[in-house]
Amino acid sequence: MNQHVPSSLSRPVPDPVSRVRERISGRVQERSIAMSGECVNPRQTGARWNFDLVSVTPEGIEYLACTIWEQASQNIDARLRHSGGSLERAMSAGMVLEVRGNAWLSKEGQVCVSVTAVEPGFIRHGSLHMEDKRATAALKSAGVPRERFSPGFTHDNSKYAFHDIDCNPQNIMVLGPEGARGLGDFQRHLRHNTRRSAPQVTYKAFSCTRTSSIRAFESLLAEAQRLQMDAVLLVQGGGHWSWLRGYARAELALAIHNSRVPVVTALGHDADVLLADRAATLSFITPTAAAEAIGAALKSSHFQKVNEERKDSEAKRRAAALAARSYEKTQHEYQIANLMRQVAAATTTANEAWRLQREAAASAGSSHFAHAKDLIETAERRVRLFSRLFTAATIAAGVALIFFAEDVLAITSKGAGPSQYWIYVAAVIMCGASSVYAQRLSRTMMLLPAEKPMKRPPESWAAWRHAMMDVRTISGLRKLRRHRPN
């Protein structure tokens, strides 16, 4: 006899993956959201814009992939131009934007936003942007060449890079995430490019994030110096910009710049230029390019060694033949050898004098830099004092105007009533608060160079020094920062 099974106890029929995805996608598409965040990694394709809207929290970086499609791009640009802006200006890295749009689900399962409106009044004051500016200023102050911060910065050529720094990478330490694809590409191409003259490679696991400690990296650099490594290679494969954010930290870049062992970077893809790349001795577009550069340097040194050995053996054979022919020629060769030793000794003396001259020039440049730093710190304290005195004077003037409000109103009008009194008080408070806020905002921008150059910048170090000793305003200090002599 067949037994009836209640429907409540029967197993539900599972939906196929496509059905579940359609259901989730439909729910996401129904959402229309308004949000704000920092514009990061904007990319234009025709009339379409793609960017990430980012918020920085104590837990880390949160972002949403946003797209402005062609049909919405013109409407948004027209609305922004009516308000004095433009879509192209809004799509700048570091802009804090307020946008509205519809959420949707990509094929990879990522929640994306189709932007339909961008509110005017945006400002380029994003957290990551300001963090990058502070890090760049710190590296410039530390002595990193300014040309490495130019917009046209390019990675080094794999064929001649190690020749330019006079480094033979026979013994190197490679730092990279264990088991990562970028490190595997480097190992595979290094074996392929160094079959005849393989280098001594020491691999250490290392990966930098926004929150990881820099002490581990500094200890690895110290170990490389102790082991007398020729170079340290920092390897990280490409990916989303947030994965590489740790290599834009000022602490890591300063450690690279201050390292006594040359640090070479191979981070990300072709388009990635990170702060670590700008601070490094050499930088390559990919780990594969770094392996090719090492192979090219070792091949060149290998062939040079073979040619030198061949030339030495040929010279010895000829010297033996000449010595067998006559004693006079042997004496002549001895005289030539003695002359060569004298030339070598003279060359050594000249090199030592050149080294001492270079050290003296470096010492003078260091003292010059320290003096400039002291001038800037003194000027900062002076300008901050004047700004605070002006703020205190503004507050005192506002209090005085409010305290003698009736007398002021009696002078300016006849029979001032209560409404005029309160309007007058509100106006004084608003003006005073605006002035105090403007001074405070200026003090926060004091450490940044001015965006616009001076009409008549100092023409010499002495003129800049006198101007820095006399500066009293925040705007003047920022302009002098921009025109700081090298």
Tokens 């190992």 belong to 187
**Is 65 strand, coil or helix?**
strand
Summarize pLDDT for 315-345 with one digit per residue, the tens: 888 887 777 777 777 777 888 888 888 888 8
Per-residue model confidence (pLDDT) at position 455: 83
- Distance set, CA 142 to CA 254, 256, 258, 341 (Å): 8, 11, 9, 43
What is the share, in percent, of the chain residues with pLDDT greater than 70? 89
* First-residue to last-residue Cα distance in the chain: 99
The H or E element that residue 233 is part of is strand 231-236
Q: What are phi and psi of 98, to 5 degrees?
A: -115, 120
Q: List all residues 6 or more positions away from 26 whose beta carbon is below 8 Å from its beta carbon.
A: none
- Distance set, CA 343 to CA 346, 347, 352 (Å): 5, 6, 14
CA atoms within 13 A on the CB side of 28: 17
Residue 107 has pLDDT above 50, yes or no: yes
Summarize pLDDT for 217-246 with one digit per residue, the tens: 999 999 999 999 999 999 988 778 888 888
27-32 mean pLDDT = 65
Q: 237: closest CA among 204, 259, 214, 270?
A: 270
Residue 311 has pLDDT above 70, yes or no: yes
Per-residue model confidence (pLDDT) at position 312: 78
Q: List all residues 6 or more positions away from 77 whose beta carbon is below 8 Å from its beta carbon.
A: 86, 87, 88
Cα–Cα distance, 47 to 78 (Å, whole number): 13
Label residue 472 by pLDDT band (50, 70, 90): confident
349-361 mean pLDDT = 80
Per-residue model confidence (pLDDT) at position 87: 93
> b/e string for 48-84 if b means 16 or more Cβ within 10 A?
ebbbbbbebeeeebebbbbbbeeebbeebbeebeeee
**Is 138 strand, coil or helix?**
helix
Summarize pLDDT for 420-462 with one digit per residue, the tens: 888 888 888 899 888 888 888 888 887 788 788 888 888 888 8
Label residue 1 by pLDDT band (50, 70, 90): very low
Lowest mean per-residue pLDDT among 8-22, 55-69, 185-199, 322-336: 8-22
Query: Which one-letter amino acid corresponds to residue 140?
Result: K
Residue 413 has pLDDT above 90, yes or no: no
Per-residue model confidence (pLDDT) at position 220: 92
Per-residue model confidence (pLDDT) at position 169: 87
The H or E element that residue 123 is part of is strand 123-124
90-98 mean pLDDT = 93
Summarize pLDDT for 151-194 with one digit per residue, the tens: 888 888 888 888 878 788 889 999 988 877 878 888 888 888 77
Per-residue model confidence (pLDDT) at position 109: 75
Per-residue model confidence (pLDDT) at position 117: 93
Alpha helices in 170-249 (DSSP H): 181-193, 215-226
Summarize pLDDT for 196-224 with one digit per residue, the tens: 777 888 998 888 887 778 899 999 999 99
- Asked whether the beta carbons of 255 and 222 are under 8 A apart, the reply is no
Per-residue model confidence (pLDDT) at position 304: 66
- The count of residues in the chain is 486
The arrangement of strands across the sheet holding 171-176 comes to 200-205, 171-176, 231-236, 263-267, 282-284
What is the share, in percent, of the chain residues with pLDDT greater than 90? 26
43-72 mean pLDDT = 90
Query: Which one-letter amino acid corresponds to residue 245?
Result: R
* Cα-based angle 399, 402, 404 (whole degrees, multiple of 5): 105
Per-residue model confidence (pLDDT) at position 10: 52
Q: What are phi and psi of 442, to 5 degrees?
A: -65, -35
Domains and CATH numbers, the chain: 24-125 (2.40.50.140), 129-299 (3.40.50.2300), 363-482 (no CATH)
Other CB atoms within 10 Å distance of the CB of residue 434: 11
Cα–Cα distance, 110 to 143 (Å, whole number): 42
Label residue 308 by pLDDT band (50, 70, 90): confident
